[in-house]
Amino acid sequence: MTMRTDAPLKTSGAARYGLDVTPPGTVYGYVVTSTIAHGEITAMDVAAVRAAPGVLAVYTPFDPLPLRTPMSPLLGETWVPLQDTEVTYYGQPVGFVVAETFEQARDAALLVEVTYDRRPARTSLHAGLADALDAPPSLHGEPPTLQVLADGVESIEDALAASAVRVDATYETATQNHAAMEPHSAVAVWEDGRLTLYSGTQGSDLQAAQLAQALDVEPARVRALNPFVGGAFGGKGHAGVSAFLGAAAARDLGRPVKAALTREQVFTATATRPATVQRLRIGADADGRLTALAHDSWSSTTATPSFVEPTSHGTSREWYTTPNLAITQKMVPLHVPPTTFMRAPGEAPGSFALESAMDELAVALGMDPVELRLRNSSIAPPGRDLQWSSKHLDECFTLGAQRFGWAQRHRRRVDRDWLVGYGTATAMFPALRFPCAVRITLRPDDTAEVATSGADPGTGLRTVLSLFGAEALAIPPERVEAALGDSTLPPGGMSGGSTATASVGSAIAVGAPAVIDALVAVATGPGGLFEGREVAYADGRVFAEGDSATFGEVLRAAGRDEVTAIGTSAPGEEMTKHSFSSFGAQFCEVRVHRWTREVRMSRMLGVFDAGRIVHEQAARSQIMGGMIWGVSAALHEGLEIEESGRPANGDFASYLIPVNADIPTVDVEFVRYPDTLHNPVGARGLGEISVVGVAAAIANAVYDATGIRVRRIPIVLEDLLE
């Protein structure tokens, strides 16, 4: 197998992330954040700040850097700081101090005196449930409230009432932060009216476009570089405050500016996954066939509503066959940090509710939870006539059950001081593509370059580009260089939504024949090596009858530096023919301490149907990472926001994510059915599906071990007191 092409640089310490660049003359910016959750800033006294050693500038809403609100088709509006005096959450950026050194900037920032006109802050999702608002339409453009009822059925309540077996339960999931290891940061350098921005982001061209709009400069005058990104998970889609303030201050001061959020600031000054409350009502007949499914969802969102966690539309809308379906999605505007998409937005917390409820239904029916899921597997989303293009969820479950030893679950299991339980859950995540352009270049030294702006936030996209390029050009991957993470390359869009592999693969499938055509034209054209002859391309060579040459030889003979072509692709006609999703079956074994009630993972297995697996190592890493995210969601992480709006645990000592010692053996298996109905390379996304269902599988296993049903994550010790 080809090794990850980024590994040597990352292991030698030579990979340069945004903040690792220090141009000559660099000065340092420090963001000042609000200490109230709601109100207006009436004054900011910065005299002492300006007088502090090394301070070059202080920017506030009263003395702001000019920034305009950028708008993009993919991301919508992006908030820019310091443009008004309104405070709508604790930890909101309200100032920016630039000094010769970081410590000077931070020290000086302590001296800012802010006067607020405080207003009452709404910070409780529970308190806001009663007057929640309807959420905007779903990703599919469907209204937030949606019903599919069988003929003759008057209401979902009627359908539920007529069901032989019913479950009615309410679940809660916590606010979460992406907590990528690399804090949001930027180094901004202006030269001759052109900005170069070094900053980790999920899409360099999107970053450049947002900065150009915000700074009101020609898009061609902004170059965003992100060759290495220290994790993103949805949290680096929108350009961040470090980038906006760093770039604007660098322009104002005529000096390169380096700006990074501290870890504490990351928890408020970037964005979070919303908290959710979800009520599930499921009805089934005595054989376990669903007769009615109602999923009511509430999501926290910002005071001026922005991102809403689409828990019901992301799960119950599509997962199971049911004659009667009712979905609602509401939002509760709060004075809390911004909300945005985070790994498996909708599906991750939504699956905790749906798959816990399915487990409760299995218990009520006295049925094997695996059997219940197999029995209700959907052929198409209810009420939609587009069938799944390629669905092998049944195989995931049967293979997984066998491999995991699921049949052993009925034994009463106590291992010394530990109660042992098994749990399972379904995982699904839509297969999507984004518009994408990839440039393919053949070079005289018989190497090729595959280039797109995009980003590899750790997924392995850089390696995948080389592999797809090699495959399409029929040459060894070692001869294909990937260029990525530079907004001046053809627009590759965003590494997000588990789309990148399918998107670049589709574009390369278009671009490779085009560059080969261009090569053939060079070979057969005037002065070409095979001028006027019939030729064919194979394995990196151009073949004429009785003769052949490598593409490098063809280019050298013609005196050409390169031939190049750009392949573009976008989701299209296939969307009118099928529904697309990846599928998976999650299994886990947990141990709950009989006396102290500590919960520990002891085994995990995920079996996934994600189309073609392009790079085994990177794919397994993505899947394992997602499954461990599920452990984290179930047992560790949750941002607690106090009544005042202040996060109670906004640092790595108290916002817990699992350490190596918490993670057991993680077994991953794929069923491998390339989905060429979705895209020519047959790969569907797998970065997000892996987290889906895990938290429910764990809660279900905890129930199996203890008989205690915990309907809120993260599960805490006191939930399990008897």
Partner 1 sequence: MRIELTVNGVAREADDVWEGESLLYALRERLGLPGSKNACEQGECGSCTVYLDGAPVCACLVAAGQAQGREVTTVEGLAGDGLDPVQQAFVEKGAVQCGFCTPGFLMSTKDLLDRDPAPSDPEIREALAGNLCRCTGYEKILDAVRTAAANR
Partner 2 sequence: MDFLAPTSWAEALECKAAHPDAVAIAGGTDVMVELNFDHRRPPALLDLNRVPELADWALDDGRVRLGAGVPYVRVISELGHLLPGLAMAARTVGSPQIRNRGTVGGNLGAASPAGDSHPALLAAFASVEIGSVRGTREVPVAEFFTGVKRSVLEPDELISAVLVTPPSGPQQFSKIGTRNAMVIAVSAFGFALHPDTRTVGTGIGSAAPTPRPAPEAAAFLAGELEAAGLWSSRGALPATLATEFGRRVRDAAAPIDDVRGSAAYRSHALSVMARRTATWAWDAYRDENRSAA
Q: In what order do the strands lie in the sheet with 257-260?
A: 55-59, 93-99, 27-33, 257-260, 185-191, 194-198, 222-225
Contacting range for partner 2; rule: CB under 8 A; set: 37-45, 163-171, 594-602, 605-613: 594-602
Question: Which of the listed partners (partner 2, partner 1, none) does 596 bind, with a CB threshold of 5 to 8 Å by partner kind?
Answer: partner 2
Q: Of residues 35, 83, 124, 262, which one binds partner 2 by CB under 8 A? A: 262
Which DSSP string corresponds to 441-486?
A: EE-TTS-EEEEES---SSSSHHHHHHHHHHHHHTS-GGGEEEEESB
- d(C-alpha 168, C-alpha 183), whole Å: 41
Nearer residue to partner 1 within complex by CB, 107 or 704:
107
Q: Of residues 166, 263, 375, 712, which one binds partner 1 by CB under 8 A? A: 263
Instruction: Note whether 100 binds partner 2 by CB under 8 A.
Output: no
- d(C-alpha 681, C-alpha 231), whole Å: 26
Instruction: Note whether 652 binds partner 1 by CB under 8 A.
Output: yes
Instruction: Note whether 6 binds partner 1 by CB under 8 A.
Output: yes
Nearer residue to partner 1 within complex by CB, 35 or 621:
621
Q: Contacts with partner 1 in 182-221 (CB under 8 A)?
A: 182-183
Q: Of residues 119, 221, 384, 636, which one binds partner 2 by CB under 8 A? A: 636
Nearer residue to partner 2 within complex by CB, 80 or 592:
592
Instruction: Note whether 416 binds partner 1 by CB under 8 A.
Output: no
Give SS3 for 188: strand
Q: Is 143 exposed, middle or buried (0-12, 13-18, 19+ CB in 10 A)?
A: middle
**How many residues make contact with partner 2 (CB under 8 A)?**
29
Q: What are phi and psi of 677, to 5 degrees?
A: -75, -25
- d(C-alpha 629, C-alpha 686), whole Å: 14
Q: Contacts with partner 2 in 638-667 (CB under 8 A)?
A: 640, 648-649, 651, 653-654, 656, 658-662
Instruction: Note whether 256 binds partner 1 by CB under 8 A.
Output: no
Question: Is cis: bond before 136, omega within 30 of 0?
Answer: no
CA 515 to chain centre: 32
Tokens read off for 118: 């405080």
Instruction: Note whether 600 binds partner 1 by CB under 8 A.
Output: no
Residue 616 designated active-site: no
Q: For partner 1, what does the binding mask look like between residues 551 and 580, x meaning CB under 8 A?
A: ------------------------------
- CB 596, min distance to partner 2, A: 6
- CB 32, min distance to partner 2, A: 11
Instruction: Note whether 716 binds partner 2 by CB under 8 A.
Output: yes
User: Which residues lie across from 611 on neighbouring strands?
Assistant: 683
Question: Which of the listed partners (partner 1, partner 2, none) does 233 bind, with a CB threshold of 5 to 8 Å by partner kind?
Answer: partner 1
Q: For partner 1, what does the binding mask look like between residues 654 and 693, x meaning CB under 8 A?
A: ---xxxxx-x-xx---------------------------
Counting Cα atoms < 13 Å in the Cβ hemisphere of 490 gives: 22
Eight-class DSSP state of 66: P
Q: Exactly one of 182, 218, 688, 718 is catalytic; which is it?
A: 688
Nearest to 362 by CA among 309, 329, 325, 406: 406
Contacting range for partner 1; rule: CB under 8 A; set: 16-24, 217-225, 249-257, 475-483: 16-24
Nearer residue to partner 1 within complex by CB, 42 or 101:
101
Instruction: Note whether 107 binds partner 2 by CB under 8 A.
Output: yes
Cβ atoms of 451 and 482 closer than 8 Å: yes
Farthest-apart Cα atoms in the chain, separation: 86
Question: Which of the listed partners (partner 2, partner 1, none) does 20 bind, with a CB threshold of 5 to 8 Å by partner kind?
Answer: partner 1
Question: Which of the listed partners (partner 2, partner 1, none) does 130 bind, with a CB threshold of 5 to 8 Å by partner kind?
Answer: none
Whole-angstrom CA distances from 389 to 352, 380, 431, 575, 683 are 25, 9, 10, 10, 12
Question: Which of the listed partners (partner 1, partner 2, none) does 595 bind, with a CB threshold of 5 to 8 Å by partner kind?
Answer: partner 2
- d(C-alpha 373, C-alpha 394), whole Å: 9
- Which residues touch 471 (CB under 8 Å, ≥6 apart)? none
Nearer residue to partner 1 within complex by CB, 200 or 645:
200
Instruction: Note whether 717 binds partner 2 by CB under 8 A.
Output: yes
Nearest to 543 by CA among 556, 555, 529: 529
Strands (E), 356-462: 414-415, 418-430, 436-442, 448-452
Give SS3 for 430: strand
Nearer residue to partner 2 within complex by CB, 170 or 649:
649
Contacting range for partner 1; rule: CB under 8 A; set: 280-288, 292-300, 330-338, 624-632: 624-632
CA 132 to chain centre: 26
Tokens read off for 123: 């910070």
Instruction: Note whether 419 binds partner 2 by CB under 8 A.
Output: no
Q: For partner 1, what does the binding mask look like between residues 445 and 464, x meaning CB under 8 A?
A: ------------xxxx----
- Residues annotated as part of the active site: 688
Enumerate binding residues for partner 2 (CB under 8 A): 106-107, 110, 262, 264, 595-600, 635-636, 640, 648-649, 651, 653-654, 656, 658-662, 716-718, 721
Residues that bind partner 1 (CB under 8 A): 3-4, 6-17, 19-20, 22, 101-104, 178-183, 228-233, 260, 262-263, 457-460, 617-618, 620-622, 624-625, 628-629, 632, 651-653, 657-661, 663, 665-666
